[in-house]
Amino acid sequence: MDISDYRREYMSLGLHREALLEDPFKQFESWFQQASEAGIQDANAFSLATNDAETGPSIRTVLLKLFDQNGFVFFTNYNSKKSLQINKSHQVAMLFPWLTLNRQVKIEGHCEKISTAASLKYFATRPRGSQLGAWCSDQSEVIESRSFLEQKYREAAEKFKSGSVPLPSSWGGYRIVPRCIEFWQGQENRLHDRFQYTKQSDDTWSIERLAP
């Protein structure tokens, strides 16, 4: 299938240096709110790229659950493929493709586990079904069938039928502490606006325009 004709012009208001907030987390918050208000479904979904020398690069979608001046937090299984890669190389990249707004945000940085207490705090807010689900998926492992998974779910539901579902030791959060954050706004004739914030040694952020 030849899809070389599959294209569109990116017509949107330009992104100007003087309109950017000096703090990239505030700039991200502003764009995140605009993405939510624009009705982008799962605006908190991002592609998470990991890498290690043995298995090479790998990528998947995860959900952003918290962000503040300390970084961007998501939750997952600590024995999953992504987690094994993060154990070997803490350098990761994230991408939010907010394409209906002709935007993307790219973040590169260092990924580290959050505390068990912080993971538990979030785990406790999850629907019970999701909590049980965390107990029965050895994420990224080969399994024989869907019924195997459903059987494990029934067993977990039975095991924890009274009281709250405890936090599995194999489940928790990671925080990505950014080294650089790029805001991309599509423009006509592929002359897109790109601004990259880079963390300086004194913890301030430089802002530079990149060629599209």
Q: At what angle do helices 146-159 and 128-136 cross, to 10 degrees?
A: 120
Q: Does 30 bind ligand FMN (CB under 6 A)?
A: no
Pick the closest to residue 15 from 164, 187, 145, 158 (CA basis): 187
Smallest distance from ligand FMN to CB 199, Å: 25
Measured distance CA(156)–CA(44) in Å, rounded: 29
Q: Let me know if 17 is a catalytic residue.
A: no
d(CA 21, CA 69): 14
Please tell me the distance from the alpha carbon of residue 105 to that of residue 27, in angstroms, as a whole number: 10
- What is the contact mask toward ligand FMN in residues 100 to 139, using x (rule: CB under 6 A)? ---------------------------------------x
Sign of CA dihedral 198, 201, 203, 206: negative
58 or 198: whose CB is closer to ligand FMN? 58
- Residue 81 binds ligand FMN (CB under 6 A): yes
Minimum CB–partner distance for residue 209 and ligand FMN (Å)? 32
What torsion, rounded to 10 degrees, do the Cα atoms 111, 116, 121, 127 define? 80
Residue choice 67, 82, 192, 195 for contact with ligand FMN (CB under 6 A): 82
Among the listed residues 20, 30, 34, 45, the single contact to ligand FMN using CB under 6 A: 45
Between CA 164 and CA 175, with CA 170 as vertex, the angle to 5 degrees is: 100
- Asked if 204 interacts with ligand FMN (CB under 6 A), we say no
C-beta closer to ligand FMN: residue 31 or 74? 74
Residues 143 and 146: their CA atoms lie apart, in Å, by 8
Instruction: Using the minimum distance from each CB to ligand FMN, give the nearer residue, 65 or 199.
Output: 65
Interface with ligand FMN includes 51 (CB under 6 A)? no
Q: What is the DSSP letter of 165?
A: P
Q: Cβ of residue 47: shortest distance to ligand FMN, in angstroms? A: 9
Identified binder of ligand FMN from the candidate list 140, 180, 199, 207, rule CB under 6 A: 140
Q: Does 62 bind ligand FMN (CB under 6 A)?
A: yes
CA-based torsion, 161, 162, 167, 170: positive or negative: negative
Task: Using CB under 6 A, list all residues that contact ligand FMN.
Answer: 42, 45, 58, 60-63, 74-77, 80-82, 139-140
